Structure 1
Amino acid sequence: MTVRKPVLFTNVGIIIGAGAVLMAVFSGGGASVFLDRESFMITVLGSFAALLINYSWDEITQSFFEIRALLKLEIPDPVQTIEDFGALAVRARREGLLVLEDEIPKMDPFLGKGLQMIIDGMDSAAVSKVLEIELVQVEGRHQTCSGLLTVWSNLAPGFGMIGTLVGLVKMLNSLDDASTIGPSMAVALVTTFYGAIMANFILIPLAGKVNLRSQRVLLYREMIMEGLMALQAGVNPRVIEQRLRAFIVPQSDKASTRLKLEAADD
């Protein structure tokens, strides 16, 4: 089955966003003022420490691995998958379901797992139950990932403000030297800058990306489940394709159409 190449516009967004921030930082010189160890520790490490209060260490590490896997996951082309289901149904009608076992290693793992259970003789209710449980578990893990990123995005600006307040207190404590007020104020505001960058350029967009990818993955797998149930029931291949095309959103009056889930690949 063909697989779509993901994240083109994600990379474009990262390049444009990072470029815009760096241009603003380096224009006119004085970029070194944006590099401050204390600001980094308060904003990044402080917000992460607060995250540890919300989540256990295992939940955090598992979520990071899950986020990485989800963003790297290549969702098979849904149109090709529908055509493949039609071909599988034709072959199963002619030669029986058992001959489809040779195709399993080439398939999407979720599809292959469901087809293997059907070939092994499990009834449709049992197959559907197993796949539904897996979908619920996947959705739960994705929600945990999204929630973690959202919580962190709320914490980062707050700790940036804490760092700014710490800097202002230090500045006010040394008002006797007027020459230090400007530099001290600049350093104090750097923590707010760090918090804003973390939340608005990294964590909030990443949480949104995780949500979109999760929706597309779940939608694709729901389509797979519908196809498997129809295949097991011996439904006419053309009817199977028509059912699965209900998951497709027409993009134009032309023959070519795309699934909703394709948007996440960009």
Structure 2
Amino acid sequence: MDIASLLSIIGGIAMVIFGVLSSNSFDITAMQMYIDPASVVITFGGSICSTIGCFKLADGINGFKSISLPFKDKTYDPSQTIRTIIDMSNVGRKEGLLALEEAANGIEDEFLKKGIMLVVDGTDPELVRGILETDMVCLETRHKDVIKFWEKWGEMGPAWGMIGTLLGLIAMLNKLSDPSAIGPQMSVALVTTLYGSLIANWLCAPIAGKLSVNNDMEVVNRQITIEGLLSIQAGENPRVIEEKLKSFLSPSVREGVLENGGGGEE
């Protein structure tokens, strides 16, 4: 499980609860003032309906299903990918490209395995690049569609919070003849704005941000894979391939790429 995402969700709600309690002398009964079923329906229900209306139904459902993705500890390690490619390069230079088919059996990365099989089958390098880059672009498009869903919900949340507040203010103005009702009515009206802000800043923004980070990491990992496989197919020296692929990494990471495995040509 991704600890950062979990801490973000738990920490965010903890800060809100602390703010509520601290402003009410830590009276636990004060929490009731911030719970209003009608506001929940207006803010969450309205924003969800508007968000789904911006997408095809299937895309909206996929957007909701993606809520678990930020919490999955799915790591993309470019250093490990480079080490694997260097190992493949050594095998290819010593035993020929056909030997890569057997070496690929233990690889779990389906994208890398797909690329290796294209190379083993003697596919034209430009065609290999075209197939793999198309796969990568389509992957990124799917990811961005999901990210847009959360960004759109983040936009709709505060908007529907304001709509709920306006509805509450209208109800309050209709009861101006009763001064004792103004305070409670105003309080309920503002609760919807609070809910809208929570939707945007506590839920949607962190999820969209984490999905974007994961997308960027996976795209870089696939770019490394494509360049590495084409270099293997071209018969380049493993040390040259290593230096080429390390350019994708930050300087602080490059030196330790091959410390835990792999290596240049022996």
- 2:236 is paired with a residue whose SS is coil
Q: CA deviation at 1:73?
A: 6.2
Cα deviation per residue 1:77-123 (whole Å; 9 max; x = unaligned)?
22222122111111111112222223334321111111111112222
**Structure-2 residue corresponding to 1:55:** 55
* Counterparts of 1:82 and 1:257, CA distance in 2: 7
Which residue is equivalent to 2:12? Answer: 17
Distance 2:106 2:61 in 1: 31
The one-letter code of the counterpart of 2:235 is G
- Secondary structure class of the residue paired with 1:100: helix
Letter in 2 for 1:165: L
Partner of 2:214: 213
Equivalent residue for 1:231?
232
Per-residue CA distance 1:139-160 (angstroms, 9 max, x = gap): 1112212222222111110110
CA distance, structure 2, for counterparts of residue 103 and residue 134 of structure 1: 23
Distance of 1:173 and 1:236 partners within structure 2: 81
Percent identity between the two aligned chains: 37
Asked if structure 1 preserves the Cα contact closer than 8 Å seen for 2:81 and 2:224, the reply is no
The match for 1:104 is 104
What is the TM-score with the length of structure 1 in the denominator? 0.87
- Separation in structure 2 between the aligned mates of residue 84 and residue 257 of structure 1, nearest angstrom: 11
Within 2, Cα distance between the matches of 1:121 and 1:251? 37
Relative distance call for 1:137 and 1:90 in structure 2 (3 A) is same
C-alpha RMSD of the superposition: 2.2
CA distance, structure 2, for counterparts of residue 227 and residue 208 of structure 1: 29
- Quote the residue 1:124 is aligned against: 125
SS at match of 1:248: coil
Letter in 1 for 2:179: A
Deviation at 1:69, TM superposition (A): 4.5
State the shift of 1:74 in Å.
2.0
Say yes or no: does 1:249 pair with 2:250. yes
CA distance in 1, matches of 2:31, 2:66: 35
For residue 78 of structure 1, what is the aligned residue in structure 2? 78
1:151 partner letter: K
Range that drifts further, 39-48 or 210-219: 210-219
SS of the residue corresponding to residue 116 of structure 1 reads: helix
2:150 and 2:205 in contact (8 A); partners too: yes
Question: Which position in structure 2 is the counterpart of 1:33?
Answer: 33
Q: C-alpha distance in 1, partners of 2:257/2:139?
A: 27
In structure 1, runs of 5+ residues without a counterpart are: 1-5, 259-266
Is the contact made by 1:167 and 1:184 (CA closer than 8 Å) also made in structure 2?
A: yes
In structure 1, how many angstroms separate the alpha carbons of the residues matched to 2:252 and 2:84?
A: 21
In the comparison of the two structures, how many residue pairs are matched?
252
Report whether the alignment pairs 1:181 with 2:182.
yes
1:8 aligns with 2:9: no
TM-superposed deviation, 1:230: 0.5
